[in-house]
A = this chain, B = another copy of it.
Amino acid sequence: MKMGVLGSGMVAQALSARLAELGHDVVIGTRDAEKLRGWQSSNQRVKIASFAQTATHGEMIFNATNGAGSLQALAMAGPENLTGKILVDVSNPLDFSNGFPPSLFVCGTDSLAEQIQRALPYTKVVKTLNTVTARIMVYPQEVANGDHHVFISANDGDAKEQVIDLLRAFGWTNIFDLGDLTTARGTEAYLLLWVRIFGSMNTGMINVKIMK
């Protein structure tokens, strides 16, 4: 499948490499191609392009840009290039203006996922993977043999099913469907706990399992 990954950080790199490994036709979109030259030398199946070219290429697009810059990046990608497509939003509304630990620039009454959906009304936004570190997103079995949960939120049922299929291809076996996109308020706010668990354990290679 033609995949577009917006972003040039660790998350974008991890998603792009894994998607290529799974046989997809992947373009990674960045404002600064030079930043990715070194990485690309060991990931030659992934092409580097602009945000707009990446959105145009992808049948499914990932928002792996910094949360604080996501709306601007998606505007640069071009709403018209994302029309009718699935946008998998893995970003978080983290506010690092006061350093670590971050706070959130939207909390409780709205979410970054909903802001993105409002900015792209003809795109099917699916929120997922934002509760784990980049490595676990694409190799979930590296924590507790995969015995932990990823959450998913979306308004479009078919788009959600397609993303669930992709999560399974990544290795996820416990996929918790929280409901519509407003439930992303929960997973985004959870980051405030995640950063504290990270702070205590000094590793991001952790996740939660829902016990009943």
Contact = CB atoms under 8 A, between A and B. Distances in A.
Interface of A: 95, 98, 103-104, 107-109, 143-144, 147-148, 151, 176-179, 183, 185-187, 189-190, 192-197, 199-201, 203, 205-212
A177 B103 CA distance: 20
Contacts of A207: 210-211
Copies of this chain, whole number: 2
Contact of A108 (B103, B144, B197): B103
B193 A186 contact: yes
A200 B186 CA distance: 12
A208 B210 contact: yes
Contacts of A144: 211-212
A196 B209 contact: no
A38 to B, nearest CB: 31
Contact of A143 (B187, B197, B205, B212): B212
Given A107-B107, A177-B200, A190-B190, 20 more contacts: A98-B109, A103-B108, A104-B107, A107-B192, A144-B211, A144-B212, A148-B211, A178-B200, A179-B199, A186-B192, A186-B193, A186-B195, A187-B193, A187-B196, A189-B190, A197-B210, A201-B212, A206-B210, A207-B211, A209-B209
A20 B69 CA distance: 53
A176 B200 contact: yes
A201 to B, nearest CB: 7
A107 B211 contact: no
Choose among A177, A190, A196 the residue with the greatest number of B CB atoms under 10 Å from its CB: A196
B200 A211 contact: no
Report the 9 A-B pairs with minimum CB-CB distance, sorted nearest first: A103-B108, A186-B193, A186-B196, A189-B192, A144-B211, A107-B107, A208-B208, A148-B211, A189-B189
